[in-house]
């Protein structure tokens, strides 16, 4: 009886071991296999998500042909700044004129590559209102939208050229030119674009030292040239040129126009006379008040002047006066392009009456006058200028005074009036 129980225990153990090896261990191995598959798929998914996160593209829409025509060709510039190659099967365009457009391209953009892709189904007509927005969808499921919306008369970016230290008497020309195969420039908004555009500055006063030329541009490479011309001779003095600039956003460029400027002497100060050089005036009686007008002007090629000193010199022939024949006046300030009108008034008496008798040969007379600019001081430079520094500092003129003479003056029968003017000896 005891021997039978021992055999039963051995058989039970064998059955239990059989069950373990036949069922439990394979089940365990199966669970381990499932765990491995799950972890592999989780790693693949994680790697895919990491690749999606690291996938990068920069997309710009621009013009790449047909400048100056009715068919502007449209291109997209694709740059891959990431570390992964990016596959783009199709390009989608949203156009105001064409609607939704799809173009199959099957592009592969490797890291660091810049690709220019011409669109075959879209072209801009400068006379038709249109805008275009581009969207790329990669094989990894990312979507990249162009950083700009462009139209034939709606270029996306502003290029501002700030010109500093300009000088009166010169003409400054700012020229922007396209470099490479894509880009477009217009000088104003809603203006048809081309491969170059210009803007001009002509300083009017010494305060016009700075100016800003604004251009509308499409994404592309450009160079800016500043040319300086003499305003009067139109000779080119000097040229500044920048290296090429890649414009992918609003950009401001500073151009220093400082150059060697020759002396502005003679200073464009001028004196002029509104009256003709030999003016005739009829005197009503023995005395008369005579006003002598003159104009002091300053050309625009100058700094403002202060303390402008003017001298009026008078010489009388056949006339008398009780006031001085020399007068000096000052103009406190005159600015470029300004003209100032002034008057000098002198009271004169005819010397024809001697001992209450009229000498007909002495009726009338002459006033000879000289207007001269003696000096001034530059407002900005503080330079003291004298007569020889001015362009036209002196003007001379004369006024002839005549009398109406009749026989009545000699106490005889009336005679017709005669115009009598004293002539110099």
pLDDT in tens, the chain (425 residues): 455 566 677 777 777 777 766 776 777 777 777 777 877 777 777 777 777 888 999 999 999 999 988 899 999 999 999 888 999 999 999 998 888 999 998 899 999 999 999 998 889 988 888 899 999 999 988 999 999 999 988 899 999 999 998 887 789 999 999 999 999 999 877 778 899 999 999 987 777 889 999 999 999 999 999 999 987 778 888 888 888 899 999 999 999 888 766 656 688 899 999 888 788 888 878 888 888 999 999 987 777 899 999 999 999 888 888 888 888 999 999 988 889 999 999 888 888 777 666 777 788 888 899 999 999 998 877 888 998 889 899 999 998 888 887 655 445 555 666 777 776 65
Rg (CA), the chain: 47
Q: How far is CA 83 from CA 53, 88, 111, 143, in A?
A: 11, 16, 5, 17
* Interatomic CA distance for residues 224 and 197, integer angstroms: 10
Q: Which residue has the tokens 């392009």?
A: 337
- Element housing 171 (H / E): strand 170-179
Name the strand (E) or helix (H) holding 373: strand 365-378
Name the CATH superfamily, with its identifier, for domain 58-145: Immunoglobulins (2.60.40.10)
CATH domain 267-421 topology:
Immunoglobulin-like (2.60.40)
Does pTM top 0.75 for this prediction?
A: no
Nearest to 325 by CA among 335, 309, 314: 314
Q: How far is C-alpha 276 from the chain's CA centre?
A: 44
Name residues whose C-beta falls within 8 Å of residue 104's C-beta, 6 or more positions apart in sequence: 89, 90
Question: Residue 154 has what DSSP assignment?
Answer: B
DSSP H or E segment with residue 133: strand 132-137
Q: 157-256 and 267-421: same fold?
A: yes
So where are the chain's domains? Answer: 58-145, 157-256, 267-421
CA distance 385 to 148: 57
CATH of domain 157-256: 2.60.40
* Residue 100, number of CB atoms within 10 A of its CB: 9
- Euclidean distance between CA atoms 331 and 336, whole angstroms: 14
């Amino acid at each position: 009886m005891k021997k039978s129980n021992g055999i039963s225990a051995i058989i039970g153990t064998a059955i239990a071991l059989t069950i373990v090896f036949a069922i439990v261990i394979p089940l365990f191995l199966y669970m381990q296999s499932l765990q491995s598959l799950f972890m592999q798929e989780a790693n693949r998914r994680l790697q895919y998500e990491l690749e999606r996160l690291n996938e990068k593209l920069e997309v710009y829409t621009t013009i790449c042909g047909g400048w100056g025509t009715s068919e502007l060709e449209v291109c997209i510039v694709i740059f891959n700044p990431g570390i992964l190659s990016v596959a783009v099967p199709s390009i989608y365009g949203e156009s105001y004129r064409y609607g939704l457009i799809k173009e199959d391209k099957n592009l592969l953009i490797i890291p660091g590559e810049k690709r220019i892709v011409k669109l075959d189904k879209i072209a801009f007509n400068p006379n038709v209102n249109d805008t275009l927005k581009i969207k790329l969808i990669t094989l990894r499921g990312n979507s990249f939208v162009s950083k700009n919306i462009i139209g034939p008369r709606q270029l996306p970016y502003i290029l501002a050229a700030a010109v500093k230290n300009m000088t009166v008497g010169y003409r400054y020309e700012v020229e922007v030119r396209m470099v490479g195969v894509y880009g477009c420039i217009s000088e104003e908004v809603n203006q048809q674009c081309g491969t170059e555009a210009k803007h001009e500055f002509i300083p009017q006063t010494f305060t016009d030292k700075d100016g800003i030329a604004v251009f509308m541009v499409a994404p592309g490479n450009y160079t800016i040239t500043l040319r300086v011309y003499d305003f009067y001779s139109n000779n080119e003095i000097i040229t500044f040129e920048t290296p090429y600039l890649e414009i992918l956003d609003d950009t401001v460029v500073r151009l220093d126009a400082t150059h060697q400027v020759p002396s502005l002497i003679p200073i464009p100060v001028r004196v002029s006379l509104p009256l003709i050089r030999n003016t005739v005036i009829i005197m009503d009686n023995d005395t008369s008040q005579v006003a002598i007008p003159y104009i002091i002007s300053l050309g625009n090629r100058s700094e403002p002047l202060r303390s402008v000193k003017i001298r009026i010199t008078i010489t009388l022939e056949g006339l008398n006066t009780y006031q001085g024949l020399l007068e000096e006046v000052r103009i406190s300030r005159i600015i470029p392009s300004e003209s100032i009108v002034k008057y000098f008034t002198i009271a004169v008496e005819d010397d024809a009456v001697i001992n209450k008798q009229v000498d007909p040969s002495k009726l009338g007379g002459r006033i000879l006058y000289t207007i001269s600019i003696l000096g001034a001081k530059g407002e900005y430079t503080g330079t003291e200028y004298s007569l020889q520094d001015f362009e036209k500092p002196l003007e001379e003129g004369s006024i002839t005074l005549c009398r109406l003479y009749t026989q009545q003056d000699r106490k005889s029968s009336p005679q017709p009036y005669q115009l009598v003017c004293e002539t110099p000896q």
